[in-house]
Amino acid sequence: MIGVRGGARTVTVTRRRGGDSTRAKDSLAVEEPLEIRLAWKDADGRARMEPLAVTMRTPGDDFELVAGFLHGEGVVTDTAQLAEMTYCRGGEAQEYNIVEARLSSGVAPDMERLRRNFYTTSSCGVCGKASLDAVAARGCRVLPPGPRVDSALLPELPERLREAQAVFAKTGGLHGAGLFTPDGDAVGVREDVGRHNAVDKVLGRAFLDRALPATERILVVSGRASFELVQKAVTAGVPMLVAVGAPSTLAVDLASRFQQTLVGFARNGGFNVYCGEERVA
C-alpha cells in the first residue's frame, strides 16, 4: 500500500496512437483483497473468531465496507451489536487487508446460516424463489410509500454521482454508489473496484451514523442493478434504486416483492421504471 493515495496508483505505460509510440504516466485503480473476520463469545463465554468472507476491494473506507456487509447479510441490525472494528492485531504481513469485527456481549452469529448463504449464492441450482424467501426470512419488510421524486431528476442522478467520484476521474476504473435526497443532493458517495463494495461502503456509513432505515433516500449505482444490490438496498430500507445499466430479472422480482422503485438505464435524458412507478412524480 506504499505510494497509494486515494485509491489510485501511478504507473508508466506505453501509448500507441496512429503508429506513434510514447511513454506516459497513467493512474490505475488499486485492487487488493480484504478478509473480514468475525469475533464473538459463545454461550459458554469462550472467545471465537472465524473468517467470514474475502472480497477484492479498493483500500479505503474499510470499516464502512465491513459494517455495510455485516448489516446487509443480517449479522447485525443495530450499531449497538457491533462492539469494535480493528485491523488485524496479529502482526501479519497483510494486517491492513484484514478487518476483525467484534460483536457485543450476548450477540452470537448464526454461522451455519451464513455459511449456507455464502455457499448458495456462489453455486448452481438454487432457485430464484428460494433467494427471495431468504431475504424475507431475515426480517425485511415491505418498504413504506414515498418519497415522490421528480422524473426530470432521475436521469441526472448518475451524472451527479460521477461528478463526486474523484478517483474515477483519475482512473476510469471504479464503480460508484451514492445516497441522495429526493431533491438530488448527495448525502454520501463511495467508490470501489467492486459494485457491491461501493454499495456496502455507502450503506455502511449510513449504518454507523444510525441513519438506517434510509426511507427518505435514493441509492444510485454506476453499473447494472443485480439481485444482490437490490437486496442490500431493501435491507437498508432504501425505497428507490437508480442504476445506469439494466436490472436482472431476479432484481426486478425482489424489488417488486418489497415494493421498491427500481429504475434502470438512467442516462441521456431518459430511464426505465421496472416497478414502483408510484414514487416517480
Predicted local distance difference test score (pLDDT) of residue 146 = 85
Does position 21 have pLDDT exceeding 70, yes or no?
Answer: yes
What whole-number distance in Å separates Cα of residue 280 and Cα of residue 263? 10
Q: Which three cell numbers stand for residue 50?
A: 472465524
* CATH number of residue 232's parent domain: 3.40.140.10
Predicted local distance difference test score (pLDDT) of residue 123 = 41
Range 14-30 average pLDDT: 87
pLDDT in tens, 218-233: 999 999 999 999 999 9
Strand ordering across the sheet containing 240-243? 186-192, 175-180, 218-221, 240-243, 261-267, 270-275
Q: Of 208, 230, 211, 212, give the one whose Cα is nearest residue 221.
A: 230
For residues 223 and 243, the answer to whether their CB atoms sit within 8 Å is yes
Residue 249, burial from CB neighbour count under 10 angstroms (0-12, 13-18, 19+):
exposed
HEC per residue, 46-72: CEEEEEEEEEEECCCCHHHHHHHHHHH
Residue at 66 is within a domain? no
Residue at 216 is within a domain? yes
More confident residue, 106 or 138: 106
Full domain range(s) for residue 146: 141-279
| pLDDT more than 70, % of the chain | 91
Residue at 209 is within a domain? yes
Residue at 211 is within a domain? yes
Does position 122 have pLDDT exceeding 50, yes or no?
Answer: no
Q: Which of 88, 124, 127, 275 is catalytic?
A: 124
Which H or E run includes 179? strand 175-180
**Average pLDDT, rounded, for the chain:** 89
Say whether 124 is catalytic: yes
How many domains, the chain?
Answer: 1
Q: Given pLDDT bands bounded at 50, 70 and 90, which one contains residue 130? A: confident
Residue at 136 is within a domain? no
pLDDT in tens, 73-91: 999 999 999 999 999 866 6
Predicted local distance difference test score (pLDDT) of residue 199 = 97
Predicted local distance difference test score (pLDDT) of residue 43 = 87
Predicted local distance difference test score (pLDDT) of residue 90 = 64
Does position 22 have pLDDT exceeding 70, yes or no?
Answer: yes
Residue at 1 is within a domain? no
Residue at 225 is within a domain? yes
